[in-house]
Structure formats: C-alpha cells, structure tokens
Amino acid sequence: MTLKGIPASEGIGLGRAIVIRESDSEISNTQVTDINTELDRFLAAVERAKEEIKEIKETAQRNLGEKNAMIFDAHLLILEDPELFNMVKENISKGMNAESALDESAKFFETILSSLEDEYMRERANDIRDVTSRVIKILSHKEEIDLKSIPSCSIAVARELTPSQTAQMDKQNVRGFVTEKGGKTSHTAIIARTYEIPAVVGIGDITSVVRDGDFLIIDGNDGTVYVNPDESIIREYEKRLEEETRKKEELRKFLQIEARTQDGRRIKLVANIAHVDETDVALKNGAEGVGLFRTEFLFMDRTEPPSEEEQFQAYKTVLEKMGERPVIIRTLDIGGDKSIPYLNIPKEENPFLGCRAIRLCLAQQDLFKVQLRALLRASVYGNLKIMFPMISCIDEIIQTKEIMKEVKTELDKEDVKYSEDFEIGIMVETPAAAIISDMLAEEVDFFSIGSNDLIQYTLVIDRTNDKVSYLYNPLHPAVLRLIKLTVDNAHKKGIEVGVCGEIASDLNMVPILIGLGVDELSVSPSKVLNVKKKIFETNSEKEKMTIQKLVGTM
C-alpha cells in the first residue's frame, strides 16, 4: 500500500512500525455474556500487573532504597485484597466487562478512603487508583510504550506526536515519524528536522491502517509512505539511502569555513535549538552560534514551571558550550499550539490570536521575572542575546524593558552579578511588527524574522491545520514585501536581521533571503552544512534583481 502525506523532514527511512496510540482515559463499558471468560481475562490482567509492579519495585529498590520501594508492596497487596476482588467478581457476574467492573469497584473504595479523617488512609485512595488504572490499561491494551527503549530501526506512527514524546525517544533507534496530524512547521516536524529524522505528516488515518511490526518505507522528500512494499521498492530505496549518506559525507568539507556568497558577502549561519542537548548537534554541524533557543520546551510536559535555578543551569550550559559564539535565547513563547496546563490559561477560541508569547509574559509577570532573573544570572557565562517573541506594538517593548529594569534592581540589591552589555532583540513575526519595523528598530539591538508565524498571520493560514497547508507560500509577494521592509528599516537604523523560521533551512528560499538582504540565517542544526553549501553557490547581487521581479515596486 502507498500513502501520501506532507513531507515534513527530509530523508529516507526504512523500518518496522511502532504504533503509538493515545492514552485516552475513557474506559470501555460493554455488556458480556460469557462470565467465566471475562473473569479469566480479569485474573490474567491482575497477574500481569503484579509482574509489572514487581519489576518497578526492584528498580525502585536499586535507585531509591528499600524504604521508598515499600510502597510497591502495598500496591501488590491491593491486587490481592479479597474485598476488592469479590466486588469485581460480583460486578462481572452481573454482565459488566472487566474494565468497568474494576473501575466501579475501585471508585467505591476510593470514595470511602477519601472521606476518612486519617491522612494516611486518604492517601491510600491514590494507591488504589494507581494500581487499578494499571490493570485497566492492560485489559484495554492501552499500555504506554516505553519510548526511551524503542527498538532499533523503528518508525514511529501516531495520530500526533507530542514534543515530549519525540524528545524522549532514543533517536538512534528511530528511522522515521509518520503522523495523522500536523503541518510542515508543527513542532514535531521541527524536532524531526533537528535530529535529521525523516518525517511525513498529515496522513489521514495512518494509525488504523498500519499495525505494529509492519515494514514501512518513508520518503520525507516527497511525503510517500509505503506499507509492506515489495522487494523491488525496498531495493530501490536502499540504494537511495546509500546515496544520501554519501552526499552527507561530502558536505563535511564545509565544516570549518565561514559562510560567504559567491560574490563574497558574509552570511552568519547559526542554529535553532529547543533543548540543551541540541547545542551539541549544532556545534557538531559547524553552527556559528544559536540563533533561536525556544525556551518554552523547558516548561512543557511537567506539572509546575522550572525553578529559576533550573532555568539558570539550562541557559548557562548552552552559553558555556557555545563559548564566545552568540546565543539568542527567546523568552517563553506559550500559547498557540503549545499549551501548558499548569499555567491555567483560559481556553481561547483562537489561541494563535490570543494570549500568547510576550502577551502571556506581560500578563503573568511573576513567571516572566523568574525567567529574566535566570537569563540575567546566566549572562556572565557567554555571549547572551535576549529575544522577545510575537511583538506587535512598541508598548510591549517598553513594558518589557521596564520589567527588565525591575529585575536588574532586584539582582543589584542581592548583589548578584549579570552582564551589562548583552543585546536585546525581538522576533518580527507579526505583520504589524514588520510594518512598524522602522519604529521598533529604534528600541532594540536586532531583529529575527519568525517566518513560520509571519507567513501564518500574513496569509491567514493556521500553521497546524493541514487542510490549509496548501496555501503556505513563502514566496507570496506579501510575505516577501514584509521581509524586505523589515530588512531595509533595520539596516537604515544600523541593526542586523536574521531569519529563524523554517524558510531559513529551505534551500530554495536561501538565495531569496540573501537577495532580500538578511544578515543571518538560523537553521535546524542538521541543515547547517546544506545551507552553507547553498550560500556559497548564491550570487547576492543577482538575487537582488530576482527579488525586484518578485516583490514589484514597493
């Protein structure tokens, strides 16, 4: 079977499918007639759960000590509790399936325990829930795959991969991603590109078509996915994979040299990172610095924000690893497609047009100040530049600078050191910011064009909606005009402009961006060498003429 989706990360991957199903909490509630079979099913699931708990207990004994591992003995006892057992059996004999019979019984005991005065006994209600949900997951085949130990040569298939799932996976073992949802600039796609993992997204019902263990070939260059293909296709793709590997080897000759166009214009080539460990990938590929550190990833998939100390350590590590190279750290960009439940942001009809990024930080200043404190403390460990996302008016910069001043005063009082001369900049990613870029350039030290959002907001296409991704066009004259306006205004005021959106990694767009006059490209760490090669092949003067044709008279 051959399926077609959106190519989201280049490359070819051959491997066995691992279908990652969503762990939904809904419990199936069906009537059963064969009571004995259902009882056996229940008992088998209990036995399996006991095995799992014993394994966890052994790991806990090794890592946390005997005392802390004792809780798992209590969990094992719950699975042998006669009262719970009898109630489940009674429910099953009434025709309930094992999942709902156990759920009902567990709820009964949970309610009794939660209403008791004694705190210790109240806590036991949680243990009952913990243990019974393990059994229910086993009964409904919803066990979570341990992504850290994904088998070698796997292709992960999912409705949608969360950024944390992709982050957890042992990337050495992953040969590709295929998802039902998402577009080219969804964060899963971005992470896939960072790690050079081929990815195809937007394939309707892939999780119902593909089974665990199916042999898949994914072509991240054109978006094709082959399910159990015949020998001739496998052989053809093995050959293509070999060719790709050879080309990668060739690119290594660009590793040590600075990027310059054919006609000698110097272009700074830096990398986008989302996690501290990607700094190594960036350095390995010859990046001259970090052009965008998406700090929101530090805040995701947890139950409370990272402390000032934790953030400080993360920023310090990246700065130290990069040495004298510049590191642009972007403050929290939450909202849009990145949500954080513990921040209690009320649900919005249009989150991309809502309380996102700098707007959220100005609304929740305590959260913002902790990040600024951590950044300022880290500023003495390298060449830090701080960048603010989704600016749409001058007032946001003025307010931000005010808060920064307050944070500095606080640090001064505490006698905490910070660098006096780090630069501050903004993302130009709203049409409003591009249009008033002459005014904004008075306020900051640099611009970085966030083309993912600039294109989304200019062309009015939700970047996560695959139904409108066909309208995504970075060459649309409206987009090019906004970029040109931004660059011209910045250069008039003597400040530099980078591009950190995905178009900076797009080899067809690199010459255009150079023609538009940008000073810096910030790209996926895995794309640094490809982009460098492209820069050497580009004649910036010639590209300027092309641009004139594309944007017309402004």
Binding site for ligand PEP (CB under 6 A): 292, 294, 333, 429, 450-453, 500-501
Contact 518, 498 (CB under 8 A): yes
Q: Establish if 450 lies at the interface with Mg ion (CB under 5 A).
A: yes
Nearer to ligand PEP by C-beta: 285 or 430? 430
Nearest CA to 283 among 273, 268, 297? 273
Asked if 202 touches Mg ion (CB under 5 A), the answer is: no
Sequence-separated (6 or more) residues with CB below 8 Å from residue 549: none
**CB of residue 333 vs ligand PEP: minimum separation in angstroms?**
6
Q: Is 296 in the site for Mg ion (CB under 5 A)?
A: no
With a CB cutoff of 8 Å and minimum separation 6, the contacts of 47 are: none
Give the pair of three-digit tokens for residue 489.
């205004």
- Judged by beta carbon, residue 49 or residue 290, the one nearer ligand PEP is 290
Which of these ranges, 170-178, 206-214, 422-430, 479-487, lies near Mg ion under the rule CB under 5 A?
A: 422-430
Cβ contacts of 172 within 8 Å, gap of 6 or more: 152
> What is the DSSP code string of 101-118?
HHHHHHHHHHHHHHT-S-
Strand order in the sheet with 199-201: 2-4, 224-227, 215-219, 12-20, 154-158, 174-179, 199-201, 6-9
* Identity of residue 210: V
Minimum CB distance to ligand PEP smaller for 220 or for 501: 501
**Long-range Cβ contact pairs of 105-110 (< 8 A, separation 24 or more):** 106/132, 109/83, 109/84
Task: Give the distance from CA 394 to its chain's centroid.
Answer: 29
187 among known catalytic residues:
yes
491 is known as an active-site residue: no
Smallest distance, Å, CB 394 to ligand PEP? Answer: 20
Question: Among 359-367, 426-434, 484-492, 521-529, which window interacts with Mg ion (CB under 5 A)?
Answer: 426-434
Q: How far is CA 335 from the centre of its chain?
A: 13
Nearer to ligand PEP, 193 or 532 (CB): 193
- Stretch touching Mg ion by CB under 5 A, among 166-174, 429-437, 464-472, 490-498: 429-437
User: What single-letter amino acid sits at 431?
Assistant: P
Q: How far is the CB of 339 from ligand PEP (least distance, A)?
A: 14
Q: According to CB under 5 A, which one of 219, 296, 429, 519 is a site residue for Mg ion? A: 429
Asked if 327 and 383 touch (Cβ cutoff 8 Å), the reply is yes
Q: Are 391 and 426 in contact (CB under 8 A)?
A: yes
* 351 lines the binding site for Mg ion (CB under 5 A): no
For the bound state, the minimum distance from the C-beta of residue 501 to Mg ion, rounded and expressed in Å, comes to 7
- Binding segment for Mg ion (CB under 5 A), chosen from 37-45, 270-278, 283-291, 444-452, is 444-452
Smallest gap from Cβ 390 to Mg ion, in A, equals 7
500 contact, one of ligand PEP, Mg ion, none, CB 5-8 Å limit per kind:
ligand PEP
* Residue 110 binding Mg ion, by CB under 5 A: no
Q: Pick the catalytic residue from 187, 275, 355, 361.
A: 187
Q: Quick one: 358 or 516, whose CB is closer to Mg ion? A: 358
Return the residue matching tokens 């100040």: 369
Q: Which does 535 bind (CB under 5 to 8 A by kind): Mg ion, ligand PEP, none?
A: none
Give 39's contacts (C-beta < 8 A, 6+ positions apart): 89, 92, 98
C-alpha 42/C-alpha 104 separation (Å) is 14
Closer residue to ligand PEP in complex, CB, 451/538: 451
Alpha helices (H) in 299-392, listed in sequence order: 308-322, 358-363, 365-378
* Nearest-approach distance from CB 460 to Mg ion, in angstroms: 16
Tokens for 203, please give them: 């394939």
Determine which residue in the list 453, 466, 502, 520 makes contact with Mg ion, applying CB under 5 A: 453
Query: In the bound complex, what is the minimum distance in angstroms from residue 271's beta carbon to ligand PEP?
Result: 12
Residue 451 binds which one of ligand PEP, Mg ion, none, with CB within 5 to 8 A depending on kind? ligand PEP
Active site residues: 187, 500
Could you list the residues that contact Mg ion (CB under 5 A)? 429, 450, 453
